[in-house]
């Protein structure tokens, strides 16, 4: 018979500290209720994908979302890894009007890095935190069909159609889909997609409730160079002005365009989050404070 | 266009504080995973039912359990309220061998208090915290059938059969059942059940994963008068010795017997918790520390 | 080997008498077919709830309807029982402009009587006749949400919304729901509803096929004092005239208003029946003769 | 506005007469409850199939059983109709050891009469009473597979296997299956089955709750010639003695053998009813009196 | 241990021959894909029903369609068999304005031949090829309700309503329905339907993808007497002209009218096929060549 | 109006040629019936994966199997591609006791080749033939969990558990799963599996009906060097002797061991096929001739 090992006073102090935890849990309740059963598409990239600490906090967040009944879908990119693999393979980049050409040799490296490195690494990462995750490329189950974006660029795809059947099947089994931004062309070739665009198109097709971009900036600035002008909320008409006026950075433009398109198609919320902050996703979903920039359909 | 109202430094400090929250959430993940989709039967009574602060913390806990996919079932008693109502009605208690007789006038007061006061009050309490709850008496849907426990005691019931169909239907709809310990006799009369016993029998019938007793003591003591002998874990063979030797208090005996019976029927865990501690239920389920006494099927 | 105990001639006479029964069963067939799988909301009150003989005939009727695949839903009041309980509790009624005030002390008595006496008594009554019944208050599962009808009257509710999920779940399990006319206010308090109004609102929300009021009159009279003017059928435009002209009795007005509203919302039939007639419900549903007043959506 | 056309006194007298009906309905409740959702296989033949009055009472009974949620399955014969059709076709019966040979010409007449006359006539009869019925031959959906019973007899089949899929599908749609006793042989030919045997085998395969034979006798007599020895109940061991001792009539033997076999396979009740009594089926199922002989699995 | 019995060279030659088969299978893939899960209603009659060789090729085709997940529904006629049976029964045909009268004696012969001969023969034929088939008359399950087409013609029906529930149930079980063109009249009598019209009406009610008429001609000729004018494709406006101008044969008119009506109701394809060609149905569905005349909704 | 473009005689000759096709289809019917709805696990590798012509015939076969309702699951290897990629990456192979070591650098190449090249290439190949296919690695959805096979060999895995949930989900959606032989270790690392072993283990876990190995030999020879001793059938006890006696080639041993294990676990058939023969899979499943060696559970 094992008696308690702690004195009454020690028990009281321990209880006080755990009660603080309980308070935090119960504060999260309204947010869990609001997103239960809802789909949240998260574009995962940048520092959040490269720093070990941030990778772990990301994986913990996704696992917890999945556990409490929210349905996260991860779309990842892989730019830096592709660049590294190409230089290792000794492939000389080709340029047309300042844009990199994805020839048949290059698309094989892209496919190999996205589907063979980045994607299974994320699946293992999530599995290690207790989630049930599975990798999907846009070629699987006819998820993304693409046409060439510009013939001179080679196998760079423009999304033509999205068939979310396979992803929906996984979500109904409680599996977290991890999606690589590849597509099948009508010519039977693999095409590379912009991951930001793929995330937006998938959010639309899934009828997602949130579209989240994890970035390496704090959010959207009204004035690109000025930290003091971080926007906490912004409407899509304002985004259009920013794109038109050139006040959004080049890397931000596909994200903003995707947000505008997704919202027009009925996705009610989008977010530009700072992926350099640990637990950015969880904080956005579970706490009243919010972080980064929230985009609204106005 | 609304710009952020907080300075960069204020943002950093806010993020640091919310990150502490995120850590607590992610620590709870393994416990949520372990109990997801599982049924937890909680006998609710004592101070946890009478103090406003404790009532609120209890309701918050149950709401959160329900939100994250755990299935709580509440069984309540109502002894003090019944005693008060009887004295208000001017009913003179009758005694046989030191036990109170539940005659036909008394059982009407019991039914009125349990089904008409305590039960709907708990349903309103939970609803106020965002749970979807519904009251059930043991008479509803043939839940509890009873025979007289002792003819001299009148309408005091011994459980003869449990039909959990109605409760299972509610659980499948995401509703938290709140159960009043009444039963239908073969004579068509209402019978009063011991709430501790009803909770145990219901846990058995539902194939619950946990049976929790919220009490007004810290847990089970090896030596009744000595706070230092609080047991953190105890097996059912030890419980049987304690009952046999008389070292368990009179109020504790039905709880312990129910735990023994439920575990023999396959319920794998039971707990005697201190209902005077805020968030006792949540802490027991969600944190590694545990509180009170855990009973094990050994 | 047990031989027959009756002579051939006795057998013939017995067969003749049972054949008369068979004829009655087969005559009911078209009515059963017409209402199979349909929901019938029955406001239960008055003599049908107080006379033992009428209670039994009512319970037999509901049981049989349920057995043959029709879905009865019972909504009950409890005015006389509440009045009696208030006088027993020594609560002095308060009046505003001739209307009784339901203060916080009163609403507790109302809740106690409706949920703790009348409702479980009806559930036991039906159970005793073989039905599977379960009690529900309007607070359970968010069934009725209410706002104060008139601030001076206290906890008297006006129905704001109806969520029939819990009741539909019971119906799909073959359970007869017995509904007490309480509601949850936005302030977390219980509110008392007019039972006639609650029955009509529930019929609307359930898409019921019939709304039946069991009353202590024969039906609706064209001329209130004159038995010869009993209406066998009446349209809702006529009802509106009767309400406007004051030719409907005060107790009848909420019933008539509910019938008008329910029919406008698509409930195709409503009935004012004489609950003092044994088997009034069964006769209305199962026989061509009909009884009382049928209200038609014209 | 239509006022009531009947005087108060006339209304009272009408109510009294309809109340007698209500009493009969409510007495049937326990029997309906007992057989709800259960399958009852009825061998239909003899006078019940030839007299117009008895046909109508049979059709009314089956319709009512189906309406209240009991699942009747009709298996019919057609001996007299076949004999008539053969003589019309001028086919000369062949005999072997006193048994009629079913050659290829004969089996075509049999198929034509059973599937083309008797079966659709019964379907129309039931449809006329409001049931939804559909004809099935044992050839449809692989229901009955047969081997030749005796090579000298030609296309007379012995049941080899029963596949109740098609019949179960109909029952789940609320359709009353009407089954003609034909089977498919391994040689692709149609075979004629004994309808009594087919009914028993189908009851077994469906897991029926009752197997009913409608005959032209009052029931089973202990002493064939003596009306006073009608058996109201009999066990299967007694039946075996009766068959062995030759005290059962030739036409009764296949029925008794099928009852014995069905009961050994788990069908709990079988009945030999007098099909010459109107509403024999309804009376057997719905009233306490019972008629004919009940066979018990003892 | 059994070694291979064929020499290496024999193996190579065998493989070459089987590879030719494989090529044919894979060429059929696009056609299977296009019709998988789709319903094809086939009017079966003429030579295809009378020649043994053609019967076998038809049965093989239907079996294969069913196997690969296409849903064939067979509607048959029986004119020649009815004429033969009537003369065997010695019934003298009556005529009104050149049309044969179907009196009550005649309709019994019709029912007997269609439901008792033709229908079960087709079911046996299909069963012999491995399909699971079941016979249905239009009387079963309320499939076809009819009114008299012309009072002078007796029991000749005009389709009033189609209830495809029973047929849909069979299709969902993987059963091939074989439908006899009978209907139930409001008077409870059986009515004879034109099989071509019944096939078209059933195709409409089932939302079929193809309606196929197996005939004894090659297809539709622009110029009735001239083989060179066979139409490979034709639109429904052209069909209307052909009917109006009298350039369609009398037997073709009901087929053409049914095609027009079915296409107007959404059936996208209809075909007039030459049933004298072996495997006509399979060739039409599985090969690019097509045969006969395809009718298009233009 | 488009008339037929072919003369009557041309039509006849065309029909004759297409009828030969129809005959071949109908001969396949019994094989389709036998495997409809059944799962067939196919280890895909060797020449069938490298020759363009064989790749196309393989893809056509799998597409057709999937179309007619058979459920193929592809497990692939990638040895030659891995060897090539390693030499391109300049990784120097390490050896222990003659076995290649899979260190952390090597496993990244393995993962990259299997998941990033071979797997998506097969998915695209199948998609190009009309199948709906999706790639899966053994890491996805917890499909394969592994322990190190031999610590000195590094990330070479021994299968510890198989969770076929994700694969079953795909099969139920009509998707063809394409599985890369990777596994997740308890240490969170990816492990390489022997593809033959993975195919066998998956066949077991799925309850497959057939396990097929596509190889670069004709089948299993009794005497390794002698083409004349090709075995057409062999039992698992004989296989055990062959393994024990060393008469099976090194590459064949894992296949044979997997066949033995799968058959012991209830997989009823296994085959060693010659992947150098076009349409080998289709011929094995669809024709009576069979090819290669069939392994039987005796």
pLDDT digits (tens, 9 = 90+) for E177-208: 999 999 999 999 999 999 999 999 999 999 99
Distance CA F109, CA F246 (A): 33
- In angstroms, the separation between the Cα of residue B77 and the nearest Cα of chain A is 25
Q: Which residue in D135, D139, D170 is closest to E137 by CB distance?
A: D135
B19 within some domain: no
What percent of chain F is modeled with pLDDT above 70? 94
CB E70 within 8 A of CB E35: yes
Residue E235 has pLDDT above 50, yes or no: yes
Statement: the pTM of the whole predicted model exceeds 0.90: no
C287/D18 touch (CB, cutoff 8 Å), yes or no: yes
Which residues of E are less than 8 Å from D189 in CB distance?
Answer: 124
E286/F8 touch (CB, cutoff 8 Å), yes or no: no
Distances (CA, A) of E210 to A79, A214, C197, E70: 51, 51, 54, 11
pLDDT digits over F123-150, tens only?
A: 999 999 999 999 999 999 999 999 999 9
Q: Which residue range forms the structural domain that includes residue C202? A: 34-296
Mean pLDDT of chain A: 90
Contacting C with CB below 8 Å, chain B residues are 88-89, 108, 111-117, 119-120, 123-124, 127-128, 132-137, 139-142, 165-166, 169-170, 173, 175, 182, 184, 188-190
Residue predicted with more confidence, A145 or F250: A145
Residue A182 has pLDDT above 80, yes or no: yes
Scanning every residue of chain B, which has its alpha carbon at the shortest distance from the alpha carbon of A238? B1
Residue B127 has pLDDT above 50, yes or no: yes
Distances (CA, A) of A131 to A60, A72, A178, B215, D110: 9, 11, 12, 36, 66
Query: Would you give the end-to-end CA distance of chain E in angstroms?
Result: 65
Helix (H, G, I), strand (E, B) or coil at F230: strand
**φ and ψ of A262, to 5 deg:** -65, -40
Residue D2 has pLDDT above 60, yes or no: no
Neighbours of chain E (3+ CB pairs under 8 A): D, F
For residue D261, the model assigns a pLDDT of 92
Mean pLDDT of chain F: 90
Confidence category of residue C289, pLDDT binned at 50, 70, 90: low
D1/C231 touch (CB, cutoff 8 Å), yes or no: yes
Neighbours of E215 (CB within 10 A): 27
C and D touch with 3+ CB pairs <8 Å, answer: yes
C263 within some domain: yes
- In angstroms, the separation between the Cα of residue D208 and the nearest Cα of chain E is 21
**Mean pLDDT to the nearest integer, F241-246:** 90
**Mean pLDDT to the nearest integer, F11-29:** 73
Determine which of E76, E90, E105, E116 to mutate to test the interface with D (most D C-beta atoms within 10 Å): E116
Q: Which residue in C117, C123, C165 is closest to B173 by CB distance?
A: C165
B128/C188 touch (CB, cutoff 8 Å), yes or no: yes
CB A148 within 8 A of CB A156: yes
For residue B289, the model assigns a pLDDT of 65
CATH of the domain at B192: 3.40.1160.10
Residue predicted with more confidence, F49 or F92: F49
pLDDT digits over D179-208, tens only?
A: 999 999 999 999 999 999 999 999 999 999
Alpha helices (H) along chain E: 8-35, 47-50, 52-67, 79-88, 104-113, 119-128, 165-172, 195-206, 236-245, 252-264, 280-286
For residue E290, the model assigns a pLDDT of 66
pLDDT digits over F40-50, tens only?
A: 999 999 889 98
Best CA proximity match to B76, nearest among B43, B27, B124: B43
Sheet-wide strand order for A182-185: A157-162, A144-148, A182-185, A190-192
Which residues of D are less than 8 Å from C228 in CB distance?
Answer: 3, 7-8
A245 within some domain: yes
B and C touch with 3+ CB pairs <8 Å, answer: yes
Distance CA E93, CA E90 (A): 9
Mean pLDDT of chain E: 90
Distance CA A85, CA A87 (A): 5
For residue A193, the model assigns a pLDDT of 95
E19/F278 touch (CB, cutoff 8 Å), yes or no: yes
E1 within some domain: no
F19 within some domain: no
C120/B136 touch (CB, cutoff 8 Å), yes or no: no
Place of tokens 């101008």: E245
Distances (CA, A) of E20 to C92, C257, F217, F218, F286: 99, 79, 22, 19, 13
Confidence category of residue B283, pLDDT binned at 50, 70, 90: confident
- In angstroms, the separation between the Cα of residue C168 and the nearest Cα of chain B is 11
F9 within some domain: no
Determine which of B134, B184, B188 to mutate to test the interface with C (most C C-beta atoms within 10 Å): B134
B127-131, C66-70, C99-103, D107-111 — which is least confidently predicted? C99-103
Which residues of B are less than 8 Å from A277 in CB distance?
Answer: 15, 19
For residue D297, the model assigns a pLDDT of 87
Residue predicted with more confidence, E14 or A256: A256
Tell me how many residue pairs between chain D and chain E have CB atoms under 8 A apart. 113
Helix (H, G, I), strand (E, B) or coil at E230: strand
CB D274 within 8 A of CB D232: no
- In angstroms, the separation between the Cα of residue F272 and the nearest Cα of chain E is 13
Tally of structural domains, chain B: 1
Confidence category of residue D284, pLDDT binned at 50, 70, 90: confident
E133/D111 touch (CB, cutoff 8 Å), yes or no: no
For residue B275, the model assigns a pLDDT of 92
Distances (CA, A) of B294 to A2, B118, B219: 11, 28, 9
Q: Which residue in F25, F26, F291 is closest to E15 by CB distance?
A: F291
Distance CA C31, CA C293 (A): 18
**Mean pLDDT to the nearest integer, D222-240:** 87
Sequence-ordered list of residues with C-beta below 8 angstroms from that of F90, at least 6 positions apart, any chain: none
B196 within some domain: yes
Q: Which residue in D115, D134, D170 is closest to E120 by CB distance?
A: D115
C60/D287 touch (CB, cutoff 8 Å), yes or no: no
A15/B283 touch (CB, cutoff 8 Å), yes or no: yes
A279/B22 touch (CB, cutoff 8 Å), yes or no: yes
Q: Which residue in B1, B64, B231 is closest to A25 by CB distance?
A: B64
Residue B229 has pLDDT above 90, yes or no: no
Confidence category of residue F2, pLDDT binned at 50, 70, 90: very low
For residue B18, the model assigns a pLDDT of 67
F123 within some domain: yes
E22/F289 touch (CB, cutoff 8 Å), yes or no: no
């Amino acid at each position: 018979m094992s008696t308690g090992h702690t004195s009454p006073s020690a028990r009281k102090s321990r209880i006080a500290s755990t009660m603080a935890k309980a308070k935090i849990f119960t504060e999260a309740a309204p947010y869990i209720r609001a997103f239960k059963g809802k789909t949240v598409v998260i574009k995962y990239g940048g520092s959040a994908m490269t720093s070990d600490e941030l990778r772990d906090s990301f994986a913990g967040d996704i696992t917890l979302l999945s556990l409490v009944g929210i349905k996260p879908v991860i779309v990842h990119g892989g730019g830096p890894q592709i660049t590294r693999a190409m230089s290792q393979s000794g492939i000389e980049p080709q340029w047309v009007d300042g844009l990199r050409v994805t020839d048949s040799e290059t698309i094989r490296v892209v496919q190999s890095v996205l589907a063979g490195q980045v994607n299974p690494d994320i699946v293992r990462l999530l599995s290690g935190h207790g989630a049930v995750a599975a990798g999907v490329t846009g070629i699987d189950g006819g998820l993304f069909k693409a046409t060439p974006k510009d013939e001179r660029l080679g196998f760079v795809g423009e999304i033509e159609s999205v068939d979310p059947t396979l992803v929906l099947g996984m979500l109904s089994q409680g599996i977290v889909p991890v999606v690589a931004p590849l597509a099948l062309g009508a010519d039977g070739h693999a095409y590379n997609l912009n991951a930001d665009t793929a995330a937006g198109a998938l959010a639309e097709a899934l009828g997602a409730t949130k579209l989240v971009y994890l970035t390496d900036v704090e959010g959207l600035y009204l004035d690109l160079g000025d930290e003091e002008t971080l926007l906490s909320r912004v409407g899509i008409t304002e985004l259009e002005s920013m794109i038109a006026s050139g006040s959004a950075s080049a890397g931000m433009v596909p994200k903003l365009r995707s947000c505008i398109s997704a919202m027009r198609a009925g996705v009610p919320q989008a977010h530009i989050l700072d992926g350099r902050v640990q637990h950015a996703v969880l904080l956005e979903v579970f706490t009243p404070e919010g972080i980064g920039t929230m985009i609204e359909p106005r």
